[in-house]
Chains A and B, each alone.
Chain A
Amino acid sequence: MALLEINNVSKFYDNHNALQNVSLSVPEGSVYGLLGPNGAGKTTLIRIINQISTLDTGTVSFDNQLLNPKHIYNIGYLPEERGLYKKQKVGDQMVYFGQLKGLSTAEAKLRTEHWLHKFDLKFWKNKKVEELSKGMQQKVQFIITVLHRPRLLILDEPFTGFDPINAEIIKNEIRTLKDNGTTILYSTHRMESVEEICDHICLLNKSKKILDGSVKALKLAHSKNLLELVYDGQLPEWIEALSHEQTEGEQYKVVFSAQGKDRSEIIKRLANEVNIWSFRELVPTIHQLFIDKVEEVNRA
């Protein structure tokens, strides 16, 4: 069931269209990747969902209701450009933002303690934010985003500026939240982390949606049916190599098309003629898919 339904949404500014008839549906409990190059319209769409900007045409539904001001209590938003009050104490600031998201003072304090403990920040509770390292500040920002236990968590480029250790901590936290039923909308223009995190993706380019669906289905649909073989020996003549190179020692790597052929038949024949070191299907990465699709659209 979809928690968030975007239906034919457009947004115009004076001199350009920020979004053109974008529709997408974010299933409850999924990690949904919102992908696209800079300026594709990701942030505009996120601001509309957060009710920071208004839309010009179309509708947005949250939990089968048209988006309304009450929904902000169910949404947590970590913007790409994010900051904190430098002169305010860490603990006070967390409680304040919790209150703004509708928590009672007591509840906000309780949850702040819990998270400070969890992220090993207890010592810093009464320090000013400016005394914290950048990594710690980012942890604080993450806590502020999830303190009110939102049903939908929107993360805009959450890993920019994180060191690998903190990035791993946050990734684990995102997984835990997902396991507890939180729906996560993850916006990025960097594809590396997408495959390990996202179930579903949507590609935006130049204010239009160009692709969406589950990661598995997309990969299958865009598979080019290529096989990669690493072997040593004499390459059989019936293989039409698309690329062929020596890797190490007597080993060679060859890529060829399996179009119209039976794969088990290929393996049987190969096993008789060469020593097989590895054999696998070349599945397109989301990264490759993204680049291909953007180029295809730009050509058209």
Chain B
Amino acid sequence: MHKIWLITKREYLSRVSKKTFMVMTILGPLLIALFYAVIIGLAVNQKTGEKIKTIGVIDHSGVFANSLINPSKMNFVYADTERSDFDGEVDGWLIIPKDFKLEHPQGLVYKSTQTPTLDLQSKITGAVQSAIKNKKLITHGLRQSFLDSLNVKINLTTMQINEGGALSNSKAELNFGLGIAFAFIIYFFIFMYGVQVMRGVMEEKTNRIVEIIISSVKPFQLMMGKILGIAMVGLTQFLIWIGLSGVLMAIISVVFATQLGDMHTDKAASDVMQNQAMPNIINAFFNLDLSFYGLIFLFYFLFGYLLYSAMFAAVGSAVDSESDTQQFMLPITLPLILSFTTSFSILSSDPNGTLATFMSIFPLSSPIIMMVRLPFNPPWHELLISMAVLVATFVLFTWLAGRIYKVGILSIGKKPTYKQLFKWMLMK
């Protein structure tokens, strides 16, 4: 154990003290924050910066009689004749032909210098449609005031029934977001640090340091020391990122809070989203058992990484150069990529269905898929089975990988075949 600790310490310190580690650790959250800033900035600009369009209406039929209702960001002005000089006062002309009838609503023409967007077209047709509908209803004896009273806004409050029948606020959006975040972080972590393990093993092999080391320690100790050291690097980086991102996100939300606040008031349609959903998400977030999620996350985070990095170490030991790794990387990365991509469809369709259940127990996909399911309260026994299977597979795979590693690090030259790798596993 003492030797594994010595190796772990060296791996950890040599990586953490590197300049690239510092740069990545500082720049990482900066880039993430910048990304958010750009997206939020764009959204704010689009909402506040969108110009109100003025559409000139020439109603030859007289059917509408100045009664088109203005959609958002659009004004209808009425004129008798179409002016040929597009002087900028109107963005386009809507021409209603003489023979236009409610029973035969054909022949509308829109003229403009710029190609109209689909959004603009649908706003115009929508306004005409609802005007026609209202006219027809009025001709059938309904009053305008009654028609106005038909427009009501409905907010749907979703509740979740918990065990024992207690109700709590549902948190579908939050669950979805958390699921994606968990899947992404674990996927990213396994990939990034698994490859680092592989590179580290290859470095020792090709630099011929390995023979000196394994005359002092067992190959398995060297492999485990390296894997654990890099795991600690990953955890360190992750913790720093959480801290830094939190600070930066706080700064950004303060900066944009005022602009977002302006948005709320000037657009009634977003009221539902802003005034109702946002506080719900925030409330739901603070109602979560965060320490429970944190612990489960840490578990899958670590054991998922340990399982995969043992395989990455075996690959690194078997080859002499980066280009030779491709062939052996594929079977390792395939389940990883597959579970990451599947996680989206599982989230949006059935987080507790058969596929989801299977993939959250199968050890090569469980670190990602079980974390995706976690916000949707998977059954307890499935969670425990999944964890037990993962730990057992980790032990088995590390043992097998250790056997490949032991032979691999001393085999210089020809790239082995899968058959040979299998033989190495069985070699004493």
Query: Which A positions have Cβ atoms within 8 angstroms of B?
Result: 14, 47, 50-52, 54, 72, 75, 77-79, 81-88, 96-97, 99-101, 141, 144-145
B330 at the interface (CB under 8 A from A): no
Report how far A141 CA is from B213 CA in the complex, Å. Answer: 12
B211 at the interface (CB under 8 A from A): yes
Q: Give which listed residue, A72, A79, A84, contacts B211 with CB less than 8 A.
A: A79
- In the assembled complex, which residues on chain A have CB atoms less than 8 Å from the CB atom of B14? 85, 87-88
Q: Give which listed residue, B208, B217, B423, B428, contacts A54 with CB less than 8 A.
A: B428
B214 at the interface (CB under 8 A from A): yes
- In the assembled complex, which residues on chain A have CB atoms less than 8 Å from the CB atom of B423? 14
9 A-B residue pairs with Cβ-Cβ distance under 8 Å, sorted by A, are A51-B215, A54-B428, A82-B211, A83-B207, A83-B209, A83-B212, A85-B207, A88-B14, A97-B216
Report how far A64 CA is from B169 CA in the complex, Å. Answer: 76
Residue pair A52, B6 in contact (C-beta under 8 Å)? no
Residue pair B207, A86 in contact (C-beta under 8 Å)? yes
Question: What is the count of residue pairs linking A and B with beta-carbon distances less than 8 angstroms?
Answer: 57
Residue pair B215, A72 in contact (C-beta under 8 Å)? yes
Residue pair A82, B6 in contact (C-beta under 8 Å)? no
Report how far A51 CA is from B215 CA in the complex, Å. Answer: 7
Find the residue from B18, B211, B213 having the highest chain A CB count within 10 A.
Answer: B211
Residues 1-37 of B, flagged 1 when their CB comes within 8 A of A and 0 if not, give: 0010011001000100010000000000000000000
Residue pair B207, A100 in contact (C-beta under 8 Å)? no
Query: Beyond the given A79-B208, A87-B14, could you list 7 further A-B residue pairs with CB under 8 A, ordered by the A residue number?
Result: A52-B215, A72-B215, A78-B212, A85-B209, A88-B10, A99-B6, A100-B216
Main secondary structure on B side of the interface with A: loop
Q: Which residue of B lies closest to A100 (CB)?
A: B216
Report how far A85 CA is from B207 CA in the complex, Å. Answer: 8
Q: Which residue of A lies closest to B7 (CB)?
A: A100
In B411-425, the 8 Å CB interface with A consists of: 412, 423
- In the assembled complex, which residues on chain A have CB atoms less than 8 Å from the CB atom of B209? 82-85
- In the assembled complex, which residues on chain A have CB atoms less than 8 Å from the CB atom of B217? 100
Report how far A81 CA is from B411 CA in the complex, Å. Answer: 12
- In the assembled complex, which residues on chain B have CB atoms less than 8 Å from the CB atom of A84? 207, 209
- In the assembled complex, which residues on chain B have CB atoms less than 8 Å from the CB atom of A78? 212
Report how far A75 CA is from B214 CA in the complex, Å. Answer: 12
Residue pair A83, B208 in contact (C-beta under 8 Å)? yes
- In the assembled complex, which residues on chain B have CB atoms less than 8 Å from the CB atom of A83? 207-209, 212
With A85-B14, A88-B14, A99-B6 as given contacts, are A144 and B212 in contact (CB-CB < 8 Å)? yes
B410 at the interface (CB under 8 A from A): yes
Residue pair A100, B6 in contact (C-beta under 8 Å)? yes
Q: Which residue of B lies closest to A86 (CB)?
A: B207
Residue pair A72, B410 in contact (C-beta under 8 Å)? no
Residue pair A100, B211 in contact (C-beta under 8 Å)? no
Residues 380-392 of B, flagged 1 when their CB comes within 8 A of A and 0 if not, give: 0000000000000
Report how far A234 CA is from B217 CA in the complex, Å. Answer: 70
Report how far A85 CA is from B7 CA in the complex, Å. Answer: 13
Q: Which residue of A lies closest to B13 (CB)?
A: A92
Find the residue from A47, A52, A87, A101 having the highest chain B CB count within 10 A.
Answer: A52
With A87-B14, A100-B6 as given contacts, are A77 and B207 in contact (CB-CB < 8 Å)? no
